[in-house]
Amino acid sequence: MSAIRRTAVPLAAAVLLLGVCGRIEKGSGSLFHAGTDIGVVHAQGGGNDTVPVELSTIGLDGRTGTPIVVLRDPASGGVLPVWIGAAEAQAIALALHGVIMPRPMTHDLMASLISELKAEVEEVVVTDLRNNTYFGIVRLRVEGDRKIRDVDSRPSDALALALRTGAPIRVARRILAMAPEFEFIAPEGPNQVVQALGMTVVIATPSLRKEFKIGDQRGVVVTSAFGGARDKGLRRGDLITEVNGKAIVEPAAFFEAVRAVPPRGQVRITYWRSGDTRKIEIPADVPPAKPGRRGGRVVA
């Protein structure tokens, strides 16, 4: 797999995603191959017809310039692109970065309404692909009701809601098997964010270096750790410096290094904390963990 393109892209008009489109170097993109036959598939709910996935990163489709979310299936190593609108890209990026707006945005309101009505998001599922358009559902568990309620949803809205409620994300198995080829462009600098193996990593910005007393160490900062990553000892503020012996200086490189490991292989991670260098191993196919409702920092 060739290197992922980096460019300053306006994924959303938000604090974390400002700027104008930068020049894209010819031939420096990354093509993800997972088949090209886009037909019609159907799936309902969870179970054997769907697989759990991670919402790994967000960027642009190099061929269309459209915002794109990348879902990763740890069990197979496969990835699925989901093309989304600018508003949904903003909502997803803010959640991945742990930003809480001072007043609720649309998906924050959705999450609050569900909670106030004594319900919870059981899971969200990308269920269908028709005429190059993905379809999805939000599965709700309502207090006192034995039946799970399936609510029709665009996958982009369902994914933004899942990030805010900590709900698992699943994809119809057949959709994943027939995912189209696409070219991914990662944002530059602090706009980059990757979630994989139960952790979220971002660029080590000056403010994060000051907050976590990282100094001039090179690596990417862990902003959240849950599931297998937390069980192995990773914590918010740790600095990942290497993956399988490869130096990591940005989240896109971390994602590439994780994807390079076969599903049954081990991802060897070297990280730095309070002056000490530590090492752990996490299976590349570790199932996605439920992160719980996300906290974060409030911005003006």
3-state helix, strand, coil in the chain (%, to 5): 20, 35, 45
Domain ranges of the chain: 5-18+26-182, 192-283
Predicted confidence at residue 95, as pLDDT, reads 94
Predicted confidence at residue 289, as pLDDT, reads 76
The residue whose two tokens read 């170097």 is 25
Q: What is the pLDDT of residues 122-161, one digit of tens each?
A: 999 999 988 889 999 999 999 999 899 999 999 999 999 9
The answer to whether the 5-18+26-182 and 192-283 domains have the same CATH topology is no
Does the CA dihedral 8-97-159-265 come out positive or negative?
positive
Look at 94 and 23; give whichever has higher pLDDT. 94
Alpha-carbon distance of 277 to 102, in angstroms, equals 37
Beta strand 297-298 with 99-100 is parallel
Alpha-carbon distance of 256 to 77, in angstroms, equals 11
- Predicted structure pTM score: 0.83
Q: Any idea which architecture 192-283 has in CATH?
A: Roll (2.30)
Pick the CATH number of 5-18+26-182 from 1.10.1200.10, 3.30.360.10, 3.10.690.10, 1.10.3720.10: 3.10.690.10
Predicted confidence at residue 228, as pLDDT, reads 86
Are residues 106 and 82 in contact, defined by beta-carbon separation less than 8 angstroms? no
Confidence of residue 255 (pLDDT cuts 50, 70, 90): very high
φ/ψ of residue 275, rounded to 5: 90, -5
Alpha-carbon distance of 101 to 115, in angstroms, equals 18
The residue whose two tokens read 């990026």 is 93
Q: What is the pLDDT of residues 45-95, one digit of tens each?
A: 555 699 999 999 999 999 889 999 999 999 999 999 999 999 999 999 999
Predicted confidence at residue 23, as pLDDT, reads 25
Are residues 71 and 56 in contact, defined by beta-carbon separation less than 8 angstroms? yes
